[in-house]
Chains A and B, each alone.
Chain A
Amino acid sequence: MIELSHDPHPPQDPPPVPLRVLEGSSASVAAVQSMNFRALVSLKVRVVAPLLGLSLLFILCTALLAGYDRPLMAQKVLGAFNVGYLLVLLMYGLSWVTACIYVYAANNRLDPQAALAADAARWSRT
């Protein structure tokens, strides 16, 4: 097996890349450039980016508010229950809802698309 990555001290005269690896590499390039795989990546970005991005934005903003705006967090909502605890409660709900949406989307949209990409890669070789 040859070294395919860049070590900090690369060999001065690396061995030539065997034909077998080049054939495999071209299969990899073809696989990632296939329409099905590109559609899968695009779909993943469209599912994950908003879900994770918005969740993290909410979570990290709440953390910042907890540190920098304690008077706001101390505002009462219901009895002694305040804005800070409301946001904590929302974080639990948000995490569960976001996770369920992702798993639903992954099971019903991402997995079938991944299977199409894998099937296409297998089919292209035969």
Chain B
Amino acid sequence: MKAMTVGIFLLILMLTLAITWWAARRTHTTSEFYAGGGNLSARANGFALAGDWMSAAAFLGFSGLVSLYGMDGSLYAVAALVAFLVVLMLIAEPVRNTGRFTFGDVVAERMRSRHARLAAVIGTVVVNLAYMVPQMAGAGALIKLLLGIPYDLAIVLVGVGMMVYVLFGGMIATTWVQIVKAVLLLIAAIVLVLMLLSAVHFNPLTLFASVEHLYGPRMLVAGGYFHHPLDPLSLFLSFVFGVAGLPHIMTRFYTVPDARTARKSVLWLMFLAGSFFLVTTLIGFAAATFVGQDAIRTADKGGNLALPLLAQYLGGGAGTFGGQIFLACISAIAFAAILAVVAGLTLASSGAIAHDLYVNVINDGKVGEAQQVRVARIATLAVGLLAVLLGLLAQGINVGVLVILAIAVAASANFPVILLSIFWRRFNTAGVIGGMAVGLASSVILAFIGPAFLKGNAIFPIVNPTILSMPLGFVGAWAGTMMTSHSGRRAIREAHEARFDAFVFRAHTGLDPEREHTAQ
């Protein structure tokens, strides 16, 4: 079994390395490194976005949660889809029209301030690292369980893989690895769903009935995983506003030529990833019915192996050839999912460090093209090594809090800043710093004193702190702005407001009237 799994792992690894080799020959400029040249089609970018969003946490986690907790897992899955309504209607087009490579570009374009860009760098790096460590830890645990490779070695392997993709292939390799992974994952989901539906005579209601019969009616209502009545609301707030503040998602809007294509790519994502999220309920219920919650918990107490175990069951069961093939395929796809997502996160982080911090904050943009690419690769190496180190340290600790932390920081610090940058005329650099500082501090503190970390001794009762930390982030942004909006000379204030006019015109039309004017 292990030889077969290793063989399929290696096959996928070789395919992605071949993509990287092909991409490396096309990656020379900063635009190619950070944005893949900016000429992807809506469909290709939609698949890549779906690949980004269907991480191992979604692929394994949602179906696992459904199998153990029923409705709570289904709420997680649908929240991950509805989140893109805000991205589609409020964020994607302005971000594409006003930025170049990073979230920091948008904030800096609006504020024309190094302090504001620096605040965006901090928001980006914190969110990305908090998002990356659980992926690394999950990869280590998964590979250790399936292949018998020690956790440490598994983490190093994932780290080396993602660094190779990003260092040599930049955004082009990362994008195509995401696309391949998304296609593989969707094919696997279609095959699994067809097989599990055939097992219940194509009547999905049978699965609902069997879960209710086996585990009681509580599986079909919220409350198994969420204990506080506000937990579902805070979960939705986290996703709906957090996704709009995730830097690695924003980065994908620079890989397309214009806002119209960015918009269409979000629609592709919503159908591709949404269809997958929809069937995680069926997959989870089928796993609970056919594999059983005890067996799922024995394999992994968090339920993350429910989907691979279901695949093994549908293939014929443990010890059969079909069962082994199915298990090996699903495991290899999960591995590819982790590699692809961490590569995207690494690229977004290295962009923040190299493009925002080194090029624009430290050197005021006066860095040659070749040097920029060189620094981006060094930053990739540094981020990759840091991620490996944190992944090694994360062994055995509760990494669930980090996922919550990442999305809460994105919703509480990044989202208020990006939203107010786009829509509030008076918003200024002090507001950016205030929003970022208060949103970041409140989400970190509340996450660590909440049930995800302190379990029964939690001081803050709600798992996702966004319900409180996001309003606090907005208050911080408002307070920072109001405390400084009356200072400074009138000419500066007027210039700031005129700058907003130029920004908002560009955000909605793609045309910068100031630059067009001065270019004449």
Interface residues of A (CB under 8 A from B): 1-8, 10, 14, 16-17, 20-32, 37, 40-41, 44, 48, 51-52, 55-56, 59-60, 63-64, 66-68, 70, 73-74, 78-82, 84-85, 88, 91-92, 94-96, 98-100, 102-103, 106-107, 111, 114-115, 117-118, 121-122, 125
- Which B residues are in CB contact (< 8 Å) with A125? 516-517, 520
Q: Is the CB of B220 within 8 A of A25?
A: no
Q: Are B82 and A91 in contact, CB atoms less than 8 angstroms apart?
A: yes
Interface residues of B in 248-277 (CB under 8 A from A): 260, 263-264, 266-267, 270-271, 274, 277
Contact of A118 among B428, B498, B511 (CB under 8 A): B511
**Contact surface of B with A, Cβ cutoff 8 Å:** 71, 74-75, 78, 81-82, 84-86, 88-90, 93, 110-113, 115-116, 205, 208-209, 211-212, 217, 220-223, 226, 228-233, 235-237, 240, 260, 263-264, 266-267, 270-271, 274, 277-278, 281, 428-430, 433, 480-481, 484-485, 487-489, 491-496, 498-499, 501-502, 504-505, 508-511, 513-518, 520
CB distance from B280 to the nearest CB of A (A): 11
Does the CB pair A70–B509 fall under 8 Å? no
- Bound form: Cα–Cα A117–B501 in Å: 14
Say yes or no: B501 contacts A14, CB within 8 Å: no
Question: What are the 3 tightest A-B residue pairs by CB atom distance, in nearest-first order?
Answer: A25-B498, A24-B514, A67-B229
Chain A residues contacting B208 (CB-CB under 8 Å) are: 79-81, 85
Cα of A81 to Cα of B209 in the assembled complex, Å: 8
Chain B residues with Cβ below 8 Å from A52 are 85-86, 89-90
Return 28 A-B CB contacts under 8 Å, by A number: A2-B495, A4-B499, A7-B115, A8-B429, A10-B492, A14-B492, A22-B495, A28-B499, A31-B501, A31-B513, A37-B508, A51-B89, A60-B233, A64-B233, A66-B221, A67-B230, A73-B71, A80-B205, A80-B211, A85-B220, A85-B281, A88-B74, A95-B81, A99-B266, A107-B260, A117-B505, A117-B509, A121-B516
Cα separation A102 to B481 with both chains bound (whole Å): 32
Whole-angstrom CA separation of A88 from B230 in the bound complex: 17
Q: Which residues of B contact A59 (CB under 8 A)?
A: 82, 236, 240
**Within 8 Å CB of A51, what residues of B?**
89
Q: Which of A2, A7, A24, A98 contacts B429 (CB 8 A)?
A: A7
- Pick from B85, B229, B491 the residue with the most CB of A within 10 Å: B85
B499 partner, pick from A5, A14, A63, A98, beta carbons under 8 A: A5
Q: Which residues in A have their C-beta under 8 angstroms from that of B517?
A: 23-24, 27, 125
Pair B220/A6 contact, Cβ less than 8 Å: no
Knowing A16-B491, A23-B518, A24-B517 touch, does A56 contact B113 (C-beta < 8 A)? no
B91 to chain A, nearest CB (A): 11
User: What is the minimal beta-carbon distance from B420 to any residue of chain A, in angstroms?
Assistant: 13
CB nearest to B278 among chain A residues: A92
Closest to B237 in A: A60
B89 pairs with A48, CB closer than 8 A:
yes
In the complex, what distance in Å separates the CA atom of A6 from the CA atom of B433? 11
Please measure, in the bound complex, the distance between the C-alpha atom of A1 and the C-alpha atom of B360, giving whole angstroms.
13
Residues from chain A with a CB closer than 8 A to the CB of B492 are 3-4, 6, 10, 14, 17
Contact A21 B495 (CB under 8 A): yes
Nearest chain B CB to A35's CB is how many angstroms away? 14
Partner of B513, one of A27, A48, A63, A78: A27
Q: Which residues of B contact A66 (CB under 8 A)?
A: 71, 75, 221-222, 232
Query: Which residues on A sit within 8 Å (CB–CB) of B509?
Result: 37, 40, 114-115, 117-118, 121
Q: Is the CB of B78 within 8 A of A29?
A: no
| Complexed CA–CA distance, A22 and B509 (Å) | 21
A22-B495, A67-B230, A99-B85 known, 17 other contacts, Cβ within 8 Å = A10-B492, A14-B489, A17-B495, A20-B518, A21-B514, A27-B513, A28-B513, A66-B75, A80-B212, A80-B220, A88-B71, A92-B274, A95-B270, A95-B274, A99-B84, A103-B263, A115-B509
Given contacts A37-B508, A59-B240, A68-B229, contact A24 B502 (CB under 8 A): yes
Contacts of B480 in A (CB 8 A): 8
> Assuming the A-B contacts A40-B508, A48-B89, are A122 and B499 also in contact, with contact meaning beta carbons closer than 8 angstroms in the complex?
no
Contact B222 A10 (CB under 8 A): no
List the A side residues contacting B278 at CB < 8 Å: 92
B508 to chain A, nearest CB (A): 6
CA gap between A26 and B497 in the complex, in Å: 11
Partner of B221, one of A24, A48, A82: A82
Chain B residues with Cβ below 8 Å from A73 are 71, 221-222
Q: A84-B71, A88-B75 are in contact. Are A5 and B274 (CB under 8 A)?
A: no
Task: Report yes or no: B112 in contact with A74, Cβ–Cβ below 8 A.
Answer: no
